[in-house]
């Protein structure tokens, strides 16, 4: 069904974020139905959207929390996530963040280097605790996605290289306050080619066998997240194919008896439920281009400027014949562009424009550049 803004919100000052909580609930129900048969434990990646009304719904649906900073760990706890359902990832965890997570007794740290393991051991010892860790492996698997959101290749800063793994295992034997409980891998974001998850599974199978030969049996595996969404046609596919996603792991990942598999999904859960609403300030025509200048910009949604990402754009006010527009924002940067040669109904000053699939990496990445006011969030 095409997007329609509730009538009572038509006069809301723009720009603002609209969150469709009914769609979020349907997405969470579909996710649970797909994950339940395989016993997968899903952790929601707070980096996608950390708004409390969103988090409270996700927590109530039974998901855990995947965090990449101390602030996200605290936000997850504030939203009611049990510490035993919180994992802490990230290539550069500060001492203060680690101490916060240790004191809360979270489920697991996804450790990314031997240096991090040493610090975890030192800080856990100072608290008289043991830090449970999963080793984040860099499996050198190409996620076939945008280079800026690929994380599983040797050239990326993330994870422990396969060549360094033997030395890391040897180091663990010298760290009495660190407990190895799992393996973790996350190869990228906005992945739509599901066979790459099969390749990841095969790599994890090999690593598990290698570890077992050295006396390490792991109670859990964490295969990361990365499942993409349909940015081109959000109304055609408002909910990702979670069954196909989990089915890939069912077919390719070899579990040991009693072993639990964790996944960390963010974008796939919340992206389609969020829309950025904006109004046209001006329509400006040059010799070559017709610009629709909005009151929203890269300060509200930076993905197109940062990645060249596509978002479906709709004029909700016009039924006139379509014309091509460069849809741009008011920020003093040439990169402040949402789309070029976008076909929209003839557009005029004051028209209401919807920028779709903005529930993930939208509001959470907003800024006050140009001393812009923060856009309001509206939930229905």
Whether residue 317 sits in one domain with residue 175:
no
Whether residue 300 sits in one domain with residue 202:
no
Token pair belonging to 162: 């396969």
- Residue 10 falls within a domain, yes or no? no
d(CA 168, CA 186): 19
Residue ending a domain, choose from 251, 270, 289: 270
Residue ending a domain, choose from 255, 270, 285: 270
Per DSSP, the residues of 266-314 read SHHHHGGGEEEEEEEEEEEE-SS-EEEEES--TTT--HHHHH-----EE
Whether residue 278 sits in one domain with residue 221:
no
Whether residue 338 sits in one domain with residue 317:
yes
Whether residue 134 sits in one domain with residue 222:
yes
- Residue 236 falls within a domain, yes or no? yes
| Cβ atoms of 339 and 298 closer than 8 Å | no
Tell me which residue range forms the domain holding 284.
272-379
Residue ending a domain, choose from 270, 297, 319: 270
pLDDT at 274: 98
pLDDT at 212: 93
Q: Dihedral, CA atoms, 178, 179, 182, 184, nearest 10 degrees? A: -10
- Residue 13 falls within a domain, yes or no? no
| Cβ atoms of 301 and 358 closer than 8 Å | yes
d(CA 175, CA 118): 7
Whether residue 306 sits in one domain with residue 260:
no
- Residue 2 falls within a domain, yes or no? no
Whether residue 333 sits in one domain with residue 210:
no
Please report, in tens digits, the pLDDT of each residue of the chain (380 residues total).
679 999 999 999 999 999 999 999 999 999 999 999 999 999 999 999 999 999 999 999 999 999 999 999 999 999 999 999 999 999 999 999 999 999 999 999 999 999 999 999 999 999 999 999 999 998 876 555 545 444 444 545 567 888 888 899 999 999 999 999 999 999 888 999 999 999 999 999 999 999 999 899 999 999 999 999 999 999 999 999 999 999 999 999 999 999 999 999 999 999 999 999 999 999 999 889 999 999 999 999 999 999 999 999 999 999 999 999 999 999 999 999 999 999 999 999 999 999 999 999 999 999 999 999 999 999 99
d(CA 108, CA 35): 21
Q: Which residue has the tokens 């979270």?
A: 106
Q: Is the bond leading into 15 cis (omega within 30 degrees of zero)?
A: yes
CA distances from 93 to 67, 71, 96, 121, 130 (A): 11, 11, 8, 13, 17
Whether residue 33 sits in one domain with residue 181:
yes
Whether residue 99 sits in one domain with residue 229:
yes
Whether residue 80 sits in one domain with residue 215:
yes
What burial letters (b/e) apply to 123-157, b meaning 16+ CB within 10 Å? Answer: bbeeeeebbbbbbbbbbbbebebeeebbbbbeebe
Domain CATH number, residue 32: 3.20.20.10
pLDDT at 147: 52
pLDDT at 234: 98
Count of the separate structural domains present in the chain: 2
Instruction: Centre a 10 Å sphere on the Cβ of residue 2 and count the other Cβ atoms it contains.
Output: 8
Domain CATH number, residue 313: 2.40.37.10
Whether residue 284 sits in one domain with residue 237:
no
- Residue 11 falls within a domain, yes or no? no
User: What predicted TM-score, i.e. pTM, was given to this entire model?
Assistant: 0.93
d(CA 249, CA 265): 14
Instruction: Centre a 10 Å sphere on the Cβ of residue 312 and count the other Cβ atoms it contains.
Output: 19
Cβ neighbourhood burial of 205 (10 Å; 0-12, 13-18, 19+): middle
């Amino acid at each position: 069904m095409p997007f329609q803004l509730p009538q009572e919100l038509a006069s809301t000052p723009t720009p603002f974020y609209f969150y469709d909580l009914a769609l979020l609930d349907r997405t969470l129900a579909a996710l649970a139905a797909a994950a339940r048969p395989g016993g997968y434990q899903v952790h929601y990646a707070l980096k996608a959207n950390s708004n409390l009304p969103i988090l409270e719904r996700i927590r109530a649906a039974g998901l855990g929390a995947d965090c990449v900073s101390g602030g996200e760990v605290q936000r997850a706890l504030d939203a009611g996530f049990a510490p035993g359902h919180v994992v802490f990832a990230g290539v550069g965890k500060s001492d203060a963040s680690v101490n916060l997570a240790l004191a809360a007794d979270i489920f697991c740290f996804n450790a990314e280097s031997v240096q991090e393991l040493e610090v975890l051991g030192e800080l856990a010892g100072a608290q008289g605790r043991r830090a449970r860790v999963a080793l984040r492996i860099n499996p050198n698997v190409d996620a076939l996605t945008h280079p800026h959101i690929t994380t599983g290749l040797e050239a990326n800063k993330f994870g422990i290289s396969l060549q360094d793994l033997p030395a890391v295992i040897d180091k663990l034997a010298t760290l009495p306050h660190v407990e190895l409980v799992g393996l973790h891998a996350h190869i990228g974001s906005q992945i739509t080619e599901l066979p790459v998850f099969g390749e990841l599974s095969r790599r994890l199978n090999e690593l598990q066998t290698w570890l077992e030969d050295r006396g390490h049996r792991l109670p859990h595996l964490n295969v990361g997240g990365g499942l993409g969404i349909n940015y081109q046609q959000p109304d055609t596919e408002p909910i990702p194919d979670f069954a196909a996603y989990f089915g890939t792991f069912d077919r390719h990942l070899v579990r040991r008896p009693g072993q639990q598999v964790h996944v960390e999904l963010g974008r796939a859960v919340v992206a389609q439920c969020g829309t950025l609403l904006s109004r046209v300030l001006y329509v400006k025509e040059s010799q070559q281009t017709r610009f629709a200048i909005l009151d929203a910009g890269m300060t509200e949604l930076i993905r197109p400027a940062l990645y060249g990402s596509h978002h479906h754009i709709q004029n909700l006010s016009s039924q006139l014949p379509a014309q091509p527009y460069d849809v741009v924002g008011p920020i003093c940067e040439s990169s402040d562009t949402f789309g070029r040669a976008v076909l929209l109904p003839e557009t005029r000053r004051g028209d209401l424009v919807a920028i779709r699939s903005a529930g993930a990496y939208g509001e959470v990445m907003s800024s006050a550049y140009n001393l812009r006011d923060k856009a309001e969030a509206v939930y229905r």
